Amino acid sequence: MKEIKLFINGEFRNSIKEFTTTNPANNEAVAKVYLPTEKDIDEAVDAAEAAFYSKEWREMDQNKRADILEAISEKMKVRRNELTELEIADSGSCVRKAKADVHNAASYFKVLAGQLRKFQFEVKDESASRAGFSNNFKIYEPIGVCAQIIPWNFPLVMAAWKIGPVIASGCTTVLKTAQETPVTAFVLAEILKDVGLPKGVVNIITGGASEGAYLLKNPKVRKVAFTGSTNVGRKIMELAGKNLQRLSLELGGKSANIVLDDADLSLAVDGALYAFLYHSGQACDSGTRLFVEEKVYPTFKEALLKRVAEVKVGIPTDPAAGYGPVINKKQFESIMGYINTSKIEGAKLLFGGERVTGGEFDKGYYIKPTLFEVTPDNTIFNEEIFGPVVAITPVKNDEEAIKLANKSVYGLAGAVWSKNPERARNVAKQLETGTVWINEYHLLNPGMPFGGYKQSGLGREMGEEGLKAYLEVKHLWISDCDERAKKPWFDAIF
Ligand code: NAD
């Protein structure tokens, strides 16, 4: 069994408390994990603060930080098999998803390195400057010590999205992993040590809600970056308000997937299944509200029901598995609760709606792909389920699709399927969400911003916006006028 020690000030250490993580596929123990005490968390923050003010980190050139990011990417590739196996065991990710996660996390560090080399930390604003009066510069500086909290669904990718911009910006951090899935972030910690990241720049701890809340209450923390549910996001915002910490929130979603009547239907059917079934539906940007225009709905529905029967729910190590178990019993019960509510409310169950059982399946919590036909007043039209369940609603036309798509407190992602680029773009532009795909789903580009409108979040990760989320901007005014009489303030108080 793997042993996970806290990573504080560049060293791995035990603590007086511990817990065990289990494999969602079979409930077998994966790792013995040390849980930090309040003293450990304080020491991690102290280490991050000392690193932030250390000469070595403050004076490190941006190209050297980019070298570190590239080295992390390379080392991750070298350890890709180990990372993949651990991610499968710890999070119940299927082998194809876990491989993609390791690849995406490694690529992210590489892309970020490229962005960092080009990023101008000092920019003279010519339009705001005037010869003989003033020269004006924007200077981007790291915010300081960060507290970062991540969820269990994409553990390695989430850790990469958090640690990457910390290193790129020159900040420092204490990252808290999710209680359910701490393992791969600590392999990343070994890699950080291996590539020579100065000690204390990145500290990684374990724990749940109480450790997370304790961490971000530390007054030395200047920025909080949280990914998780909207409900917890609200609590985080309240806590961060006390010390007016800078805040990034990546929260839940109920994303709309819209099939227009001129779509390539066979592509849209597969896209719709991929959109809500990927990682058992445990993705924040899942396309869980499916709108299909009435004209093509009967044909689409028939093809969808035929195709969904071909999706293989399987144990995560099986390369043929399309998706596997949900993370744990609590999540399973929550999903089944939504399925029951939908039945009681009169939503029409088209497929699934039950647990997959027998043999290996009885050791974990597997749920059949579940399709409901719903109206906008059904609970599952509105609430995030985080499981393999889709709410399908036929719509009259583009306008109704847009109106219903925007009828949500969430605004994380969405998609439009159509063969007419102009029409699809017109619909896409009217969706109130942070990402919209046309004839695509789930794919993210590390060079582009990702985040939510409305209650799906605050701020962006990745892209230039993601880097700037870790920077303060200073206006540096350099006078270009040394004649007292020409200064506008000269006679102000004399
Ligand atoms: P969660 O909100 O329950 O927990 C997320 C993290 O917050 C965990 O590390 C948890 O230990 C910690 N936490 C919980 N309560 C806390 C508190 N009071 N103070 C401080 N920390 C606390 O979410 P989850 O169940 O782990 O993940 C699923 C949710 O995450 C879904 O809603 C999903 O949509 C969202 N998510 C969003 C994105 C995104 O980029 N927008 C990405 C992945 C997941």
Cβ 112 vs Cβ 446: under 8 Å: yes
CA atoms within 13 A on the CB side of 478: 9
Q: Is the CB of 151 under 6 A from ligand 1?
A: yes
Residue 314 clears pLDDT 90, i.e. is over it = yes
Q: Is residue 485 part of a domain?
A: no
- Residues 142, 205: one domain? yes
Q: What is the mean pLDDT of residues 223-228?
A: 98
3-state secondary structure of 73: helix
Give nearest CA residue, ligand 1 atom 17: 209
The one-character DSSP state at 55 is H
Give nearest CA residue, ligand 1 atom 32: 229
CA of 453 to the centre of ligand 1 (A): 17
Select from 196, 190, 151, 147 the least CA-distant residue to 172: 147
- Residues 45, 12: one domain? yes
pLDDT for 185 equals: 98
Q: Is the CB of 213 under 6 A from ligand 1?
A: yes
Last residue of a domain, one of 412, 438, 464: 438
Q: Is the CB of 434 under 6 A from ligand 1?
A: no
Over the stretch 134-190, which tens digit does the pLDDT of each residue have?
A: 999 999 999 999 999 999 999 999 999 999 999 999 999 999 999 999 999 999 999
Q: List Cβ neighbours of 494 (8 Å cut-off, separation of 6 or more).
A: none
Q: What is the mean pLDDT of residues 206-227?
A: 98
Q: Is residue 487 part of a domain?
A: no
The percentage of residues in the chain with a pLDDT greater than 70, rounded to a whole number, is 100
CATH number of residue 85's parent domain: 3.40.605.10
Return the HEC string of 78-140: HCHHHHHHHHHHHHCCCHHHHHHHHHHHHHHHHHHHHHHHHCCCEEECHHHCECCCEEEEEEE
- Residues 162, 217: one domain? yes
CATH number of residue 318's parent domain: 3.40.309.10
- Residues 375, 427: one domain? yes
Q: What is the mean pLDDT of residues 281-296?
A: 98
- Residues 292, 312: one domain? yes
Q: What residues are paired with 349 via a beta bridge?
A: 372
Q: List Cβ neighbours of 175 (8 Å cut-off, separation of 6 or more).
A: 148, 149, 150, 159, 162, 163, 185, 202, 203, 204, 205
Active site residues: 250, 284
CA of 231 to the centre of ligand 1 (A): 9
- Residues 185, 301: one domain? no
Q: List Cβ neighbours of 99 (8 Å cut-off, separation of 6 or more).
A: 80, 84
- Residues 24, 53: one domain? yes
491 confidence band (pLDDT: 50, 70, 90): confident
CA of 155 to the centre of ligand 1 (A): 11
pLDDT for 247 equals: 98
Q: Dihedral (C-alpha) 5, 11, 14, 20: value to the nearest 10 degrees? A: -10
pLDDT for 297 equals: 98
pLDDT for 159 equals: 98
pLDDT for 229 equals: 98
Cβ 372 vs Cβ 350: under 8 Å: yes
491: its two tokens:
């006679």
pLDDT for 154 equals: 98
Query: How far apart (Å, rounded) are the C-alpha atoms in residues 263 and 268?
Result: 7
Q: List Cβ neighbours of 157 (8 Å cut-off, separation of 6 or more).
A: 101, 104, 105, 108
259 confidence band (pLDDT: 50, 70, 90): very high
3-state secondary structure of 18: strand
494 confidence band (pLDDT: 50, 70, 90): confident
Total domains present in the chain: 2
The residue segments making up the domain with residue 417 are: 256-438
Over the stretch 13-63, which tens digit does the pLDDT of each residue have?
A: 999 999 999 999 999 999 999 999 999 999 999 999 999 999 999 999 999
CA atoms within 13 A on the CB side of 223: 26
Over the stretch 329-367, which tens digit does the pLDDT of each residue have?
A: 999 999 999 999 999 999 999 999 999 999 999 999 999
- Residues 242, 266: one domain? no
Select from 408, 391, 387 the least CA-distant residue to 455: 408
Q: What residues are paired with 224 via a beta bridge?
A: 147, 247
